[in-house]
Structure 1
């Protein structure tokens, strides 16, 4: 073989090798999973149980889709307040969020049932309902408002706290109690014989300090983290409402998911919800211990019958609007 033929042969081998290498690189690139990144809005701090659980949800989804779906959690209201975030989720600008169930009643009437006082005997009763057929169906009723419910998170029970010692239902008559802008909650406070005073959450602390209101109501963690206990050191555990949180996503984004990914999202959300309940229980106990250590007087209600009797007209009035839900709640009691 002449020198020219040897060089030509070597060039052919080199070109063939380069072509094969190029094809191999292209195939590897084509086979690599594409990552789609979504945002999840959370208005609580990074260490709050709902935020930690939402991060767990993101981890499970990322793991089970082998990196195809990445969910970034934005805590502390970075993406806006609850109302504006819900609007962005409906438009598809934000894919996921965690919100309290109360504002969802504006979009799906059955969610109003959670505002009714004393419909749940205890935590176990509530979760039996939420994890049953009716609770699951309620998550899907948000679809008409361009949202898809995924799972419930725990939010404990709401109780009253005051500027002065209060130990019974009779002692709250005539007092001004801050409430959310919610017709059922306002009528509940009226039924207690007190004066409902709706106002933004951010104004409660100063209003307690200045005497604009005598009382407010919330769960232990919120009572502690808001510093409301510094202005209202007397808590009465009347546990008048149990309303869950909801992890949801944009229906616009949901409809673009494959059936496989929808199953992954639902299952991951349910597991994150169970994880959040464990975190919440520990967080609630820790908050109670800190409140007691700070000098807060916590009084247990041992007989709920007078409280239940006082609000029966409210339940009779609004319960008729939620016949199917109330029947399911009653069934879950057994």
Structure 2
């Protein structure tokens, strides 16, 4: 009997030791002065602007917490694609992630407003708004989804490109077959401009333009260049019809473990990293633009987007009930 009691005691003692040893992995253990290492999921490569932003955020958190928190950035999709990363952040198996706002619409109906066409009058107004109080209100709409919104990152402006003709006015879109993402809003925008929206996988776009299945597509400058779409679509219209941003998110389980002071530190670090991320994006955009110009592609600069904005009014009419309040807040 004594032998059984002793064995039970030793087993319990061993379990306590194991649990004590594991405590350093919990966010709350930073209060004891131990370094807590967190994981941040990023699906882009090391030298991509969003990864550069992630690394700046990680550096600032470590500095501002005097080394109590260290964030390891797992780039190149090591922890899964964006949808998988969001799910893992919700579960708390990943602490943080950088994802585009589009897949986050299933967790916040409001965030979809950022995909509306010609939403902001210019880039200065856009980032003043997103980095301000209204932007924070929008990030707070993730409450109740086990996600915490920390900051918006730049993903550039999407414009139309095609292999048929220069697009200087909305009328020039008439009859063109334009590839879009599988999104009702994306389809509505292209059709409001008079073109035929053709949803298809991104990997099929190059050959589809080359063979005439479609006439063109839409994306930002870096994607137009790195995908080699510029080789088969000579005309790129620079009018930035959409600029859905990236979002830096954290898990609710991590957030609940942070002290109020550390929550402020994480938020400050996220906001401060935006400038570095945007600078990296601007550099990549200029490099891509220079490369396609050197190739001889025609860039059509649109100075006045008013006719384009007027052409997509049916889109605003359709989504007014859903996004009207946020459109007013973001554009006032």
What is the TM-score when the length of structure 1 is the normalising length?
Answer: 0.86
Matches within 5 A, 1:170-185: 170-185=171-186
Q: Structure 1, residues 88-108: CA drift from partner, whole Å, max 9, x if none?
A: 111111111111112212211
- Distance across 2 between alignment mates of 1:127 and 1:218: 20
Deviations 1:133-177 (A, max 9, x none): 221111111122111010111122110111222233222222221
Could you tell me how far 1:246 is from its partner in structure 2? 0.8
Deviation at 1:65, TM superposition (A): 1.8
Distance 1:94 1:205 in 2: 35
Residues in 2 aligned to 1:188 and 1:304: alpha-carbon distance in whole angstroms: 14
**Counterpart residue number, 2:101:** 101
Q: Distance in 2 between matches of 1:113 and 1:54?
A: 24
**Bigger Rg, which one:** 1
Kept in 1, the 8 Å contact 2:152–2:247? The answer is yes
Q: Is the Cα–Cα contact under 8 Å of residues 155 and 244 in structure 2 kept in the other structure?
A: yes
- Aligned pairs for 1:90-239 (under 5 A) are 90-168=90-168, 169-239=170-240
| Contact persistence 2:178–2:217 (CA under 8 A) | yes
1:28 corresponds to which residue?
Answer: none
Secondary structure in structure 2 of the residue aligned to 1:271:
helix
Deviation at 1:303, TM superposition (A): 3.2
| Residue aligned with 1:239, SS | coil
Q: State the partner residue of 1:325.
A: 326
Q: 2-side partners of 1:205 and 1:89: how far apart? A: 34
1:318 positional shift: 0.6
Inter-CA distance 325–32: structure 2 relative to 1 (3 Å threshold): closer
86 and 32 in structure 1: CA distance in 2 versus 1, 3 angstrom threshold: closer
Q: Distance between the aligned counterparts of 1:151 and 1:252, measured in 2? A: 18
Would you say the 8 A contact 2:131–2:151 is kept in 1? no
Corresponding residue number in structure 2 for 1:5: none
Note if 1:288 corresponds to 2:289: yes
Structure 1 residue 238: Cα displacement = 2.4
Residue pair 1:46, 1:52 contacting (<8 A) in 2 also: yes
Paired residues, number: 301
| Backbone CA RMSD of aligned residues | 1.7
Contact 2:62–2:70 at 8 Å: present in 1 too? yes
Q: Check the 8 A contact 1:129/1:328 in 2, yes or no.
A: no
Equivalence map 1:75-94=2 (5 Å): 75-94=75-94
Alignment of 1:43-58 (within 5 A): 43-58=43-58
User: How many Å separate the matches in 2 of 1:203 and 1:144?
Assistant: 37
Q: Does structure 1 retain, via aligned residues, the 8 Å contact 2:131–2:271?
A: no
Q: CA, structure 1 residues 172+323, in 2 after alignment: closer, same or farther (shift >3 Å)?
A: closer
TM-score (normalizing by structure 2): 0.86
Cα 1:163/1:51, change in 2 over 3 Å:
same
The CA distance in 2 between the partners of 1:284 and 1:290, in whole Å, is 10
SS in structure 2 of the partner of residue 44 of structure 1? coil
| Cα deviation 1:309-334 (Å, max 9, x = unaligned) | 21001112212322321221231xxx
Deviations 1:248-274 (A, max 9, x none): 111121111121221111111111112
Q: Distance in 2 between matches of 1:295 and 1:135?
A: 39
